[in-house]
Amino acid sequence: MDIYKLLNCLNKQQRTAVSAPRGHFLVLAGAGSGKTRVLVHRIAWLLDVEKCSEKSIMAVTFTTKASKEMRDRLDKLMGIPKENIWIGTFHSLSYRLLCSHYLQAGLPKNFQILDSDDQHRLLQRLMKCKNLDSKKWSISKIVGYINHKKEKGLRPKDITSYNSLTEKTWIGLYKIYQDVCDRSGLVDFSELLLRAYELLRDQSHIRDYYQKRFTNILVDEFQDTNDIQYKWIRILSGTCSKVVIVGDDDQSIYGWRGAQAENIQRFIQDFSGAVTIRLEQNYRSQNNILDAANALISYNNIRLGKQLWTEERNGDPISIYCALDELDEARFVVRSLQAWIEQGRLLGECVILYRVNIQAGVLEEILLEKNIPYQLHNGTHFFQRKEIKDLLSYLRLIVNRNDDAAFERVINTPLRRIGVHTLDCIRQVSSDYNITLWQSSQEILKQGGLIGNMASSYLEGFILLVDRLDKITKALPLDLQTQRILQDTGLWAMYRDKKQEMDQSRIAHLEEFINLAQKYSSSRHMHSKTTLLQDFLSDILIDMGEVNNSNKRKDAVQLMTLHASKGLEFSQVFIVGMEEGIFPSQASLDNGGGYLEEERRLAYVGITRAMQRLTLTHAKKRRLYGQEVSYMPSRFISELPDHCVKKISCNTRANWSFHNKNIEFPFINKESFFTVGQSVNHTKFGKGTIINVIGFGKDRRIQVEFYNQDIRWLFAVYARLSVQ
């Protein structure tokens, strides 16, 4: 390949990063600075200029989508596919390592990945066996504890001290849970990374092989790595590899799930001679937006430091709107969207961001009222749908009979008269003899441990069904295998025979799954030592570990949390709820320090999603979690430079013309300022107390409970109420 072609489309900083001599270096890449292009061109440089072997390169990303994009770009740049390069997420690459060395990793050949939902269900069953009340013991906290310890590289035996009796119970559950997973051949997401790390740590011949093979390691989004991921890279690199990391400490926003921005600093210390290259030219946002982002993030003390800049013009000022309440805020956003449409722009270019999902409710209500299409990004993932999870569980059980989570999900789906008594008996034998549920069922049938011939017959029927499906589908293509399983298990008939709309949509989802299986069969390059079905299931389950909802609506405004927006860009961005206690969150205000700095980084991420127009909103009061609250405007607003912003007040109509001269701001009247809990008097109905308030301006309605126990809705403008 012509070197000119590799470097011509890059700016000076990017060219430096792509063409640097082989060595350890950090690419400190600001938002919108073209880091993916740099990574792809760096790999091409290693192949074409440095003459490195394809097999010597490993590129690690954080999402399957990013991996696919990187491989597609590389294949297009190089002209031919580069199949021998390992490009994938930490989880998918760990899975690949474990598949190749399952014996040394202490795993069965047909081990399966346990998704987060099944992890919860398994722990729920174990808690029940230990007579722990699920109302008293939070399963989510226990799952979080186990995952956190694994991310720290800690097994139950490594936890030698504990802070409370609660933690002692958690450690005990961790041990039991891990024992069950090991017996069942199940590996959860955190276990994938820990088990792969332990494989490299404990098996010197395997470690030496991969250290000598992967002499070029590239890692994207390094600021999001946790402890075990850092150790994973560290041990894999050894003394031979040259490691390039790409990251932005100003965009480290996942501390709550173990990410450590300080890993960038650790890299500089641990990898001798590491050089820092800064990518500061932004290709996304206009200058006002970048000036605001630079000023905001400068308030953080813990950062390496960089200054984003662009050749773009200043652009529109950032709009800051002060709303009366959450309804006023939502209506303002919707009117701005209507103005955007009138200018001939697409809704798909817009996003509404918020700190917590509960804020989406009012926005949805007003969007529906005004018939504006929207896409909510906290819906159910395709592979998390009930019907798909049922089918996946049958497939998992065919691959691995000892998969307790899959067994328990489908033993009675569809209903096959296997009752609670039978299930309790299976679980008890499993617990007493430390065997899997499948082994327990076989033992019960062998020993005649069930009361009544019918119960034994139903259980035996299920065992025979799974064994028969394994035998008759083994040689079939993946899509035909899936169809046969759907048919013979009764799953297809269960939904087909029901007439509700939801059940018909489930049939459509199952049909789509068959299509996916067919496409996978025709395009997948299998991992060694694994079957196509095992690879298919593992890729799906790794995908399910990511937040990766696809947007199929062509023109709809997007609604998502600030965390979900990372890596995306939009022409127009709204960030709502910019108030102290909401954003920054109350928890960060209470704890201060690094917590508050992470909230500021989150604001920085939200601001730098905007390409052309950015609007920040805050409300004088809002109703959250059933209570009316009043917060001060977010400190992040005050940290923006005055020359970058334009403030819009809820009672100054003239400023609304900044967005659209033809739209009038709603009529505001002093009589509309009623609040819940106020004592009022009506000329006809007498004295009462306000118990609810909705709407604003002419549309504002109040609900009053009068002392005569009469409850009435009244329009605030016409109610003729006096405050007591």
Given a contact cutoff of 8 angstroms between Cβ atoms, the answer to whether 439 and 577 are in contact is: no
β-pair partners for 318: 645
Q: Annotate 488-524 with three-state secondary structure.
A: HHCHHHHHHCCCCHHHHHHHHHHHHHHHHHHHHHHHC
Annotated catalytic residue 35: yes
36 is in an annotated binding site: yes
Closest listed residue to residue 711, CA positions, set 696, 691, 693, 681: 691
Which entry of 16, 22, 36, 234 is annotated as an active-site residue?
36
Neighbours of 444 (CB within 10 A): 21
Query: What's the gap between Cα 674 and its chain centre?
Result: 40
C-alpha triplet 375, 393, 65: angle, nearest 5°: 40
Given a contact cutoff of 8 angstroms between Cβ atoms, the answer to whether 40 and 200 are in contact is: no
Whether omega before 584 lies within 30 degrees of 0, making that bond cis, reads: yes
Closest listed residue to residue 399, CA positions, set 466, 317, 462: 466
What phi and psi values does residue 234 have, to the nearest 5 degrees?
Answer: -60, -45
Neighbours of 216 (CB within 10 A): 23
Annotated catalytic residue 213: no
Given a contact cutoff of 8 angstroms between Cβ atoms, the answer to whether 281 and 310 are in contact is: yes
Annotated catalytic residue 270: no
172 is in an annotated binding site: no
Closest listed residue to residue 379, CA positions, set 558, 511, 536: 558
Whether omega before 414 lies within 30 degrees of 0, making that bond cis, reads: yes
Q: For the residues of 633-691, what is the DSSP string, one character each? A: BPHHHHTS-GGGEEEEETT-GGGGGGT-TT-PPPP--GGG---TT-EEEETTTEEEEEE
Given a contact cutoff of 8 angstroms between Cβ atoms, the answer to whether 243 and 219 are in contact is: yes
498 is in an annotated binding site: no
DSSP state of 349: G
Annotated catalytic residue 291: no
3-state secondary structure of 247: strand
Which entry of 13, 35, 125, 149 is annotated as an active-site residue?
35
Annotated catalytic residue 460: no
Annotated catalytic residue 69: no
Given a contact cutoff of 8 angstroms between Cβ atoms, the answer to whether 420 and 128 are in contact is: no
Which entry of 89, 251, 260, 482 is annotated as an active-site residue?
251
Neighbours of 474 (CB within 10 A): 11
Please give the radius of gyration of the chain, using alpha carbons only, rounded to the nearest integer. 29
Residue with tokens 């926003």: 253
Which entry of 355, 609, 622, 635 is annotated as an active-site residue?
609
Given a contact cutoff of 8 angstroms between Cβ atoms, the answer to whether 675 and 712 are in contact is: no
Q: How many helices (H) and strands (E) does the chain have?
A: 27, 22
Given a contact cutoff of 8 angstroms between Cβ atoms, the answer to whether 85 and 43 are in contact is: yes
32 is in an annotated binding site: yes
675 is in an annotated binding site: no
**From CA 338, how far away is CA 619, in angstroms rounded?**
21
Which entry of 115, 151, 191, 221 is annotated as an active-site residue?
221
**From CA 462, how far away is CA 453, in angstroms rounded?**
15
Closest listed residue to residue 628, CA positions, set 591, 682, 562, 678: 678
474 is in an annotated binding site: no
β-pair partners for 616: 320, 575
**From CA 50, how far away is CA 309, in angstroms rounded?**
32
**From CA 659, how far away is CA 343, in angstroms rounded?**
10
Which entry of 115, 220, 326, 479 is annotated as an active-site residue?
220
First to last CA, the chain: 82
Neighbours of 162 (CB within 10 A): 12
Q: Which amino acid is at 706?
A: F
Closest listed residue to residue 132, CA positions, set 83, 188, 75, 177: 177
Given a contact cutoff of 8 angstroms between Cβ atoms, the answer to whether 50 and 15 are in contact is: no
Cα 368 to Cα 176, 365, 511, distances in angstroms: 48, 5, 30
Indicate the annotated binding residues.
Answer: 29-36
Q: Which residues are annotated as a binding site for ATP?
A: 29-36
Point out the residues that are catalytic.
Answer: 35-36, 220-221, 251, 609
